[in-house]
Amino acid sequence: MTHRNAPYLSPFTLFLTVLLYFTVNTHLSGQEDYRVEEDGRFVQILRWQAEKNVLCYEVEIEKQNGLIWEKTLSGEVETDFFEVSLVPGIYRYRVRVYDLLGRQGTAADWIQFQVHLAKQPEIVRFSPQAFYLDEGGLSRVLNISGRNLTEGIEVSLQKQGMQEGGIRPETVIVERSEEGLQAFFNVEHLNEGHYTIYAVNPGGLNTSLGTFRIAFSKAAIDFYVSAGYRPLVPLYGLINELFETDIFPLGSYGRLSLIFSKRKWGSLGVELEPSWNYFHAKNDSYGYKVQAHMFGGTLTGVYQQWFSSRKMGLSFRIGSGLYPIMDYYFTYNTGKTEPTAILVPLVSTGVSFQWFIRKPFFVEAGGNYIHMFTVDDPSPGYLLPFIGAGWHF
């Protein structure tokens, strides 16, 4: 094709958009940026925004050689892209427009890009073999060893049996030797399952290796044993009018928790809770004293929700039980009544806060609410605040 060489200023300015990562220190990436021929040769594709009323585009490519730019390639195309096969190096290109009359327009500014040698990555091994969600800390580190793990590599965990929904690390640090890397994952983004590890180098060459697990470290039942101080605070009920006191300070509890279902959204289990409280009060108006020992036993369902660090969490419980009230009698100036015993059913609910000061040792604090079913009307209800310590097995 022959064109007139008379200078001509186009009435429009050519607006270039580079669909590749074609700036210094970036890489060719994506299916639209290149293709691989059958002989293994990479063909890079330069694209720009098409203009109206254009006969053709002239493309000039120069390669940097020290402080100078050397002309490498030029050509004319009628399309809005130009295919080349360049060796690694730093390049620049510009595009000039010829209108329908073959008149030459103003060339656009030079655009610089870099071509890197595409390397086939390979994963040889990785550690650990699994991430455990019930361990402390907000970050999990996956160490990968292999070959050609270049800077800019993309790492992901692809759940087996799924085509989408891969988990990507927040940070990837590549060793200078390109034989290893560290991928840092946020525990909040991890979900249970079996995964394949994928790695994609700049240029699109990829590799994979599996199987990697995300799970809880203890598949069996977790045991929590704790004990502590727990007073009794009357809330309502006819029987509490006999005692005329706001709190019965003497009391204790024990707790055995069995957690058998652990998920990211929380853990489920059951708890057995024995307890003891001492009732003792004096009524000067009527001239009597009253006392009793209340032993308790409740069985509750429990839901645990741990915070991200896995060092602190909340437990919610609800259930029922039986409280035997023993050695219950009144003392008057003339003597005392015969001791009696009562077996009282009840319902219970509560919440507690747990803090692993140093695993497996933890402290806890919280409160329970109980409502007793007695012959009194109204039946009594109590608040049982507690503080204690325990051990996780």
The DSSP secondary structure of 194-258, one letter per residue, reads: EEEEEEE-TTS-EEEEEEEEEE-S--S-EEEEEEEE--BEEEE-TTHHHH--S-B--EEEEEEEE
Report residue 189: phi and psi, to 5°. Answer: -95, 0
**The two structure tokens encoding residue 119:** 């390397």
pLDDT of amino acid 162? 75
Amino acid at 354: Q
Tokens 């891969």 — which residue? 166
pLDDT of amino acid 43? 85
pLDDT of amino acid 163? 67
CA-CA distance, 127 to 354, in Å (whole number)?
A: 31
- What is the 3 state secondary structure string of 41-58? CEEEEEECCCCCCEEEEE
pLDDT of amino acid 368? 97
pLDDT of amino acid 5? 37
pLDDT of amino acid 8? 34
CA-CA distance, 138 to 363, in Å (whole number)?
A: 22
Helix (H, G, I), strand (E, B) or coil at 188: helix
With 0-12 / 13-18 / 19 or more C-beta atoms within 10 angstroms meaning exposed / middle / buried, residue 203 is: buried
Cβ atoms 227, 387 nearer than 8 A:
no
Count of beta carbons in the 10 Å neighbourhood of residue 176:
7
Tokens 């992901």 — which residue? 156
pLDDT of amino acid 311? 85
CA-CA distance, 136 to 221, in Å (whole number)?
A: 19
Query: In which region does residue 66 sit, left (phi positive, over 0), alpha (psi from -120 to 50) or beta (all else)?
Result: left
Cβ atoms 224, 317 nearer than 8 A:
no
Domains by residue range for the chain, with CATH: 34-115 (2.60.40.10), 122-215 (2.60.40.10), 222-392 (2.40.160.20)
Question: Which residues of the chain are modeled with pLDDT < 70?
Answer: 1-32, 40, 136, 163-165, 218-220, 308-309
Amino acid at 368: N
pLDDT of amino acid 34? 73
Alpha-carbon dihedral angle through residues 111, 114, 115, 118, given to the nearest 10 degrees: -140
Pick the closest to residue 78 from 168, 1, 165, 175 (CA basis).
1
CA-CA distance, 239 to 246, in Å (whole number)?
A: 13
pLDDT of amino acid 220? 67
Query: In which region does residue 155 sit, left (phi positive, over 0), alpha (psi from -120 to 50) or beta (all else)?
Result: beta
pLDDT of amino acid 168? 94
Q: Which residues, 6 or more positions from 89, have their beta carbon under 8 angstroms from its beta carbon?
A: 63, 64, 114, 115
Amino acid at 98: Y
Amino acid at 306: W
pLDDT of amino acid 231? 96
**The two structure tokens encoding residue 4:** 């007139």
Cβ atoms 336, 372 nearer than 8 A:
no
CA-CA distance, 264 to 306, in Å (whole number)?
A: 9
pLDDT of amino acid 39? 74
Measured on CA atoms in the order 208, 211, 213, 217, is the torsion positive or negative?
negative
CA-CA distance, 260 to 185, in Å (whole number)?
A: 27
- 167 secondary structure, DSSP code: B
Cβ atoms 315, 301 nearer than 8 A:
no
